[in-house]
Structure 1
Amino acid sequence: MGQLKTLQALCLILSLLLLTTTTTTADDSDVMSKLAESLKNAPKDWSTGKTYCYWEGIKCVENRVTSINLASKSLSGSLPSNLNSLTQLTTLSLQSNSLSGLFPSLANLSFLQEIYLDTNNFTSIPSGCFQGLSSLQVLSMSQNINLDPWVFPIELTQASSLVTLAAGNANLYGSLPDIFDSFPNLQNLRLSYNNFSGFLPKSFSGSGIQNLWLNNQQFGLSGTIEVLSNMTQLNQVWLHKNQFTGPIPDISKCKTLFDLQLRDNLLTGIVPATLMSSTAIQNVSLDNNKLQGPQPVFGSNVRATFEGTNSFCLTKPGPCDPQVNTLLEVAGALGYPILLAGSWEGNNACDRWSFIVCDTQGKVITVNFENKHFTGIISPAFANLTSLKNLVLKNNNLTGSMPASLLTLQQLQLLDVSNNNLFGEIPKFPDTVKLITTGNVLIGTTPSSGGGGGGTPSGSGSNGTTPNGTPAPASGGSSVSPGMIAGIVIAVVIFFVVVLFVSIKCYASKKHGKFGRVDNPMNGIEIAKSDVMSSANGYNGVQSDLHSQSSGDLHVFEGGNVAISIHVLRDVTNNFSEDNILGRGGFGVVYKGELHDGTKIAVKRMESVAVGTKGLNEFQAEIAVLTKVRHRHLVALLGYCINGNERLLVYEYMPQGTLTQHLFDWREIGVPPLTWKQRVTIALDVARGVEYLHSLAQQSFIHRDLKPSNILLGDDMRAKVADFGLVKNAPDGKYSVETRLAGTFGYLAPEYAATGRVTTKVDVYAFGVVLMELMSGRKALDDTMPDERSHLVSWFRRVLVNKENIPKAIDQTLDPDEETMGSIYKVAELAGHCTAREPYQRPDMGHAVNILGPLVEHWKPTTNEEEENSGIDLHMSLPQALQRWQANEGTSRMFDDLSYSQTQSSIPSKPSGFADSFDSMDCR
């Protein structure tokens, strides 16, 4: 009887397994059918009646899809939302196509090992997209430049087998989370051309990362790069074009590091001897930092560059002056502060070095670091300044003890170390020295070590017990009881029963499809490319045109932004002809220009005012920031010109003009009125652009001037916010009130007039006004209307009291049907929330994106086909093309092959952190 029951049980289990297999196969059939429907330009045999396992690019095992490989097949369309129902999928290769829409959710595909989705047009990342990818080894999704801003997915920590993570130029922002100890197999981390900020994670230390690409972050990663010294497996490091500070670390442990790109940062200090003597290094760039000390000397087999803004003591190899060496050693004890690197240039410490005073014989007699916020220790090297009389170190954050070597300074008269964090014994100076040590609470004491050597570790007793006296579990043992195991088994059985029931119900309502396959899938891999920015031709002739016309050198910024000669701008605008005027604003006139290859630009010629050196420096500092701001819904600043007191800005040209013209003046310019679909799409574009600017709030005060006249339209009627700027260094805190926002009454929130603070909630209010204008076809302020209707927000609020009033209040050119009215009601409700009187009652821009996004999901524009082999869409806007083009930037081709071969062998509702306000004292 017992054997019979056992046999019956086995038969039942077998039946369940067969049913489960049948239903999951049906799931694959349904997914593949939806995939065929959603893709455009799918392979021909996908529609010939073959079953999906015999389609081109598809591999199956026992009728389960295991591989989809359609790389570089000119595909467009989108991917189905249930793609992650292909539970046996191991490889997904769809790179180098034109797929759009949501990035596919891949959650819980526990067998998935390789994902290649680079160079597509996906627009956003769904929440939890990378959850449960326990077998993942390669995630490659670079060059998805249309993605909405998103943060690093923490759920990837479940992919402990990850070897390659490539997400360059994918609109990532925020900090790099300190989670990289969760990836013990990670070798390739490629996150260039994003908007990461903050410090390098401590968990990089001791990792197995070989290729680290973090170059060209829009505002720049910061802090030191000391963590590199413990990344002993490094082969290639690209950290160029960031904001890293401090010295280059000792890389003597990095025995295989051959390519080190550190140019265009704020690194200070002396180039370490271990870098110059490394036998592995072949390529190193140190240009445009603030490096000090003697000019470095590398071996003849090393391609090394260190030109630009560095502060080497000599213009050729050779030792520095002894006093310079001593002061650099002093700076080293402070971590080589950027404040010192900016002025300690040349080989003479008495030649205008900040905080240094010398006597007539050229000897340093005073060093004054008062109130400089320096950290670190007091260097014993001060003793080498034998003529030193005054050493002032008060009001800093120095720690450690006072070095006894200072007692050898025979000329010392004043030593002020007050208000630091010093400890230890105070050396016994002679009575001739005025010693001030107040404000160092630990001075004269020796701090404890915090639990000396030989003690037991905190957290366990010496006899193997925990702090509360209970026995500690043995190392490597298990604390799981039999009861827990039984519970887990029961839970698993219940789960499978539920899944089986749901699968059977779904199977009854699904159709069977017909499908096919091909062998030899090509798995993509991101390869290092040459530094195209050094090409003389540039993209579309823009660089070559500007170079050929400029009377002087061009200062090239990231993204192709340049300082342009006034002669070029006069030439391309026909000497600022009246016929080329695009518009007039509070800051001057905007002209249309055309380069010699036909590329069109917009040139804003601002009113000439006399400005001093400070004003010029502020203008250049603002340009340096704004040229890095890149988003598909922001008009890109391409360059600038300073001609005497005249200031000119060069932007990408938007051929369809302003939203004002199409919304209020469409009859005068001879175009049809905007449809409701166009209006909602424009609103979504603006919301996404402003949401991106809000994401930059923690680094800079970016102001948005949200009016229809500052929303420009491209050929496809997609919108870009045109008037935004960095507000900083306002002398009275009201600069933006008096200038930036002059004439925008009607778009300003009520609290703005009383506080004068530009906040994210003020932006949301202005956006709500724009929504009201889009719905009503009326201006925010209209003096031709009766007083009770002249102010749009007040009037529209009264309309919103009764939903039945809305159809009468909308622009009558819309002539909406029932479906359109449904979306109008939603937008009207959003506009009301955005213009709430109290700031806390208004949503953020992420909420606006979430409301508007679904309304336009099925109105997406078609994607232009890219030029074959070039990777550049010649119908892109200029900054998008430049961004795609600049993504090729790297090192010389000789390193491409090496990097490629090394990498090949190694393969086995709103974003958080958005600030709610900005203080107007953050200035312009």
Structure 2
Amino acid sequence: MVQLIYLSTFIFSFLTLSSADDAAVMAKLLASFSTAPSGWSNSTDYCNWTNVVCDRGRVTDIELISQSLSGTLPSDLGTLTQLETLSLQENSFSGPMPSFANHTSLRYLYLDNNNFSSIPSGFFQGLTNLQVLYLSENHNIAPWTIPTELTQATSLLRFYASDTNIFGSLPDFFGSFPNLTDLGLAYNNLSGTLPQSLGGSSIRKLRLERQKNGLSGTIDVLSSMTQLSQVWLFENEFTGPIPDLSNSTSLFDLQLSDNQFTGLIPDSLMSIATLRNVSLDNNELQGPYPQFPSSVTNHTLGTNSFCRNTPGPCDDQVTTLLEIAAAFGYPSKLAKSWTGNNACVGWTSIICDSQDNIITINFAKQQFVGTISPAFAKLTSLRNLFLGDNKLTGSIPDALTNITRLQVLDISNNNLSGLIPKFGDSVNLTTTGNPLIGTNGTSPSGNKAGMGSSGASVLPGMIAGIVIAVIIFVVVVLFISIKCYVSSRHRKFGGVVNPENGGTTSVPNIEISIEVLKQVTNNFNEDNILGRGGFGVVYKGEYYDGTKVAVKRMESAARGSKGINDYQAEISVLTKVRHIHLVSLLGCCINGNERLLVYEYMPQGTLTQHLFDLGENGCSPLTWKQRIQIAMDVARGVEYLHTLAPQIFIHRDLKPSNILLGDDMRAKVADFGLVKIAPDGKNPVSTRVAGTFGYLAPEYGATGRVTTKADVYAFGVVLMQLITGRKAVDDTLPDDNPHLVTWFCRILNNKESIAKAIDQTINPDEETMESIYRVAELAGHCTTPKPYQRPDIGYVVNILSPLIGQWKPTCHKLDHKFPTSHGVEDIYDFDQDISLPQDLRSWQTM
């Protein structure tokens, strides 16, 4: 009896002390508010406060939703050990979040839509009964990563922490949450791939959209998430094809726009009966244009690489090539250029004959992974197939032996295995660099003997040796002859071998003496001035044989470190790049303190003169056809800098005054003094902000970190100027209209407004207006504020190409087309084996 009395006394004392602890904490909580909530007062018992629930004197629920409260919450709020629900969302609380570590009673925690500054260490520790956690919309939280101790919350049902500055990767620990149905981590800085532990989970709502760094990799794991009803993954960096989601029988909302998805849209997606909303625009999806059932009430598909703009099958060769690409995982580099329904027009790595039959496929050195598709055998005219220097696995398909016209098959330097099929004697098969490949009459690390599948033969080997020797001899003789010819042609330009003898720069093969430059410019006569700028003066010059040049003479004020750096940068870039739509550097000169550069002459001057200065120089207004051709030329030049040059170059100062025009009104990009090399083309490069206001991409001007998307932004501004004839910044206009991009984007969605904004000198007809609307839309895409939403310049070329038609020269008669990344233009590129002046004259006649 006495023991029972002691036990009762102990329990009563414990409850009394615990209630006293709760009272102290609640008093602190009340004191932390800038303004007390309605119904809260120190003069009344805390269990009687409005929206507070107690059980035997212990606080179990606090709900202060959207009460306009502010202040810093007490750090020991977690000592309310019986607290099950805390709802403080939609207020203005600041400071650190209170810690609830090892709080085993807490089940519902709502701290979203506040101004908390940090999450304390151990915040997620020991929350074994937590079911709902909302932390979203706390913009000022210090960057944090999702900790592994969250796995202790094994009862978790819903977890939302969008827009809370989470960085790093998604932990691969979702198998610890068997009941998790909602995961919302949008608007953060997450990167990396989707963890495999998401597969098989009970997640119904998955919200990972708009990651600043961009989640990447494939989304294959979604195919095993059968409970999905809503998936928002837009504005990331996901790649690969869209997986089969037919097992997600409750899926109604799928938002995948603004990624880098490739491949065909699976037919199974159209068969999901519950699907209502689909967004797939701004990707690189290929194949037939999908036709969703009427039950899908909202779907967007714009800006992809479908073979057609309406539902219907693709061309047979296109279908086969996409089947081949599927075995490689639909590489993005193919999807960027494989657009349209004719594989012989603009499809990279594809060469066709005059009847548009594919005869050569060159996939060498593309870093492709996957297997060799037997679908190659469907291309019955195929003669040459180059697959060497990739990372291909599996075996050589037997079906390749059925390609009757096949002459060359190079599969060297991969990871292929298995037996080698028996090819005909006419097939030159190269298998070197595949250590696991089978024998079958071959050497595991060599070529098949005698050019075919027959045994070794001495005679073919001797013939091959003789042929190779003759070829080497001819190449050597031609090389020596060309070098001698180049040297003789170079002397006409006053080039000197030793810089000390004439005061010229030491850059090989492009040095020009100051005496020659004085002669060709009539001693830098003012009558020969073409233009002036911050760098100095540009003069027109003419050699004795009629070759015209432009000579840039740096002003003395520009000879500081920046001027010297720009001078050296221009030489460095233009000696590495040569393209028909980049102004070519013919020479340079250092004469004491003077710095001079010599370029090919562009007789029609700058685009600025033809857009803004018509009255001053007597230029005729540009037609729409000329404008769209100029845009295409500039896009091709920039595309070369971004994707096809020996290194990835960012121009950083693309604008009309740096776009020069020839007599045929074809354009070339000029002024490479601000060019920056991008190591991989994707990650930003930190540098001083340089360029021209009005053309600077927002992220570059704000942070000094630049990517190729900065050039895309500037190109979008140029497109707007070609449409409107307006300057990028015009202070003579009203205060709400001086900035072209801001004004143009405001009117972009209204065709009537666009029609009124068009340069009055264009005078467009109905067909021209449709072209202008298309270019206006493209300009808007190029100038979106976020760089990851802008297209690559290769996509821009694809959009512009159909608007002007395929340009073909009259001076080349070719049996085959030679497509590069976009069309046939690279066959008119610079010949590395003739002198620059000779090159120049040949280009000017094209």
User: TM-score, normalization: structure 1?
Assistant: 0.50
The equivalent residue for 2:581 is none
Q: Of 28, 31, 36, which aligns to 2:30?
A: 36
For the residue of structure 2 that corresponds to 1:60, the secondary structure is: strand
Q: Deviations over 1:441-478 (max 9, x none)?
A: 111189xxxxxxxxxxxxxxxxxxxxxxxxxxxxxxxx
Residues 546-561 of structure 1 aligned to structure 2 (within 5 Å): none
The answer to whether structure 1 residue 725 and structure 2 residue 704 are counterparts is yes
Superposed counterparts of 1:650-661, under 5 Å: none
Number of the residue aligned with 2:39: 45
CA contact (8 A) 2:420 2:439 kept: no
CA distance 1:617–1:96, change in 2 (3 Å): farther
Tell me the alpha carbon deviations over residues 564-623 of structure 1, each in whole angstroms, 9 at most, x when there is no partner.
xxxxxxxxxxxxxxxxxxxxxx99xxxxxxxxxxxxxxxxxxxx99996589679999xx
Task: Give the drift of 1:154.
Answer: 2.0
Query: Matches of 1:18 and 1:184 in 2, distance apart?
Result: 39
**What is the CA RMSD across the aligned residues, in angstroms?**
3.4
**CA-CA distance at 1:124 after TM superposition:** 1.1
Q: State the 1:220 CA deviation.
A: 1.2
Q: How do 1:258-337 residues align onto structure 2 when only pairs under 5 Å count?
A: 258-337=252-331
Distance 1:85 1:702 in 2: 49
Rounded to whole Å, the distance in 1 between the matches of 2:81 and 2:24 is 13
Structure 2 match to 1:180: 174
Aligned to 2:88: 94
Q: Shift in Å at residue 12 of structure 1?
A: 5.5
Task: Indicate the residue corresponding to 1:463 in structure 2.
Answer: none
Offset of 1:316 from its aligned partner? 1.1
Larger radius of gyration: 2
Q: 290-299 vs 34-43, which deviates more?
A: 34-43
Q: How far apart, CA to CA, are the structure 1 residues paired with 2:682 and 2:655?
A: 30
Q: Contact 1:389–1:412 at 8 Å: present in 2 too?
A: yes
Give 1:434 shift.
1.1
- Structure 2: distance between partners of 1:178 and 1:445: 43
Matching residue of 1:146: 140
Matches within 5 A, 1:165-564: 165-444=159-438
User: Match for 1:402: what amino acid?
Assistant: I
Q: How far does the alpha carbon of each residue in 1:691-712 deviate from its partner, in whole angstroms, 9 at most, with x for none?
A: xxxxxx9983464879xxxxxx
Amino acid of the residue matched to residue 726 of structure 1? R
Contact 2:642–2:681 under 8 Å retained in 1? no
Q: Deviations over 1:725-764 (max 9, x none)?
A: 225589xxxxxxxxxxxxxxxxxxxxxxxxxxxxxxxxxx
CA contact (8 A) 2:386 2:411 kept: yes
1:240/1:261 contact within 8 Å kept:
yes
SS in 2 for 1:40: coil
Kept in 1: contact 2:642–2:708 (CA 8 A): no
Q: 1:704, 1:723 within 8 Å by CA — same for their partners in 2?
A: no
CA distance in 2 between counterparts of 1:721 and 1:37 reads: 46
Q: Deviations over 1:374-420 (max 9, x none)?
A: 11110010110011111111111111111111111101111111111
**Residue 76 (structure 1) aligned to one of 70, 78, 85:** 70
Deviation at 1:428, TM superposition (A): 1.1
Equivalent residues, number: 489
Separation in 1 of the partners of 2:258 and 2:641? Answer: 20
Q: What is the DSSP-based 3-state SS (H/G/I as helix, E as strand, rest coil) of the residue aligned with 1:221?
A: strand
Contact 1:423 1:445 in 2 (8 A): no
Letter in 1 for 2:137: Q
For structure 1, the residue ranges without an aligned partner over 5 or more in a row are: 447-585, 588-607, 622-639, 648-696, 707-719, 731-881, 887-924
Q: CA deviation at 1:198?
A: 0.8
Name the residue aligned to 1:156: 150
Equivalents in 1 of 2:74, 2:682: separation in Å?
Answer: 37
Structure 1 counterpart of 2:79, from 63, 70, 85: 85
TM-superposed CA distance for 1:108, in Å, is 1.3
Deviation string, structure 1 residues 480-511 (Cα, Å, up to 9, x no partner): xxxxxxxxxxxxxxxxxxxxxxxxxxxxxxxx
* 2:159 counterpart SS class: strand
Query: CA offsets per residue over residues 179-219 of structure 1, 9 Å max, x none?
Result: 11111000011111111111011111000000111111112
State the 1:440 CA deviation.
Answer: 1.1
| CA–CA distance in structure 2, aligned partners of residues 618 and 409 of structure 1 | 35
Deviation at 1:305, TM superposition (A): 3.1
Distance 1:641 1:366, change over 3 A: closer
Choose from 700, 704, 708 the match for 2:683.
Answer: 700
Match of 1:644 in 2: 656
Post-superposition offset of 1:110: 0.8
Whole-angstrom distance in 2 between the partners of 1:702 and 1:81: 42
Instruction: Render the CA deviation track for 1:91-134: whole Å, top value 9, x for unaligned.
Output: 01001101111122121111111111111111111111111111
- Tell me if structure 2 keeps the 8 A contact 1:298–1:304: no
- Matching residue's letter, 1:305: H
Tell me how far apart the structure 2 counterparts of residues 319 and 20 of structure 1 sit (CA, whole Å). Answer: 77
Q: Secondary structure at the match of 2:704?
A: strand
Aligned to 2:102: 108
User: For residues 435-834 of structure 1, what are the structure 2 equivalents within 5 Å?
Assistant: 435-444=429-438, 613=635, 644-645=656-657, 700-701=683-684, 703=686, 723-727=702-706
Q: Measure, in 2, the Cα distance between the counterparts of 1:641 and 1:701.
A: 17
Q: CA deviation at 1:24?
A: 2.4
- Cα 1:75/1:232, change in 2 over 3 Å: same
* Cα distance in 2 for residues equivalent to 1:619 and 1:371: 20
Q: Say if 2:393 and 2:415, in contact at 8 Å, map to a contact too.
A: yes
Q: Report if aligned partners of 1:240, 1:262 keep a CA contact under 8 Å in 2.
A: yes
SS at match of 1:47: coil
User: Contact 1:700/1:726 (CA < 8 Å) preserved in 2?
Assistant: no
Distance 1:168 1:645, change over 3 A: farther
Match of 2:214, SS? coil
- Measured in 1, the distance between the counterparts of 2:26 and 2:74 equals 9
Q: Return 5+ residue gaps in structure 2 as ranges.
A: 441-561, 564-607, 610-629, 644-651, 660-679, 690-698, 710-784, 790-846
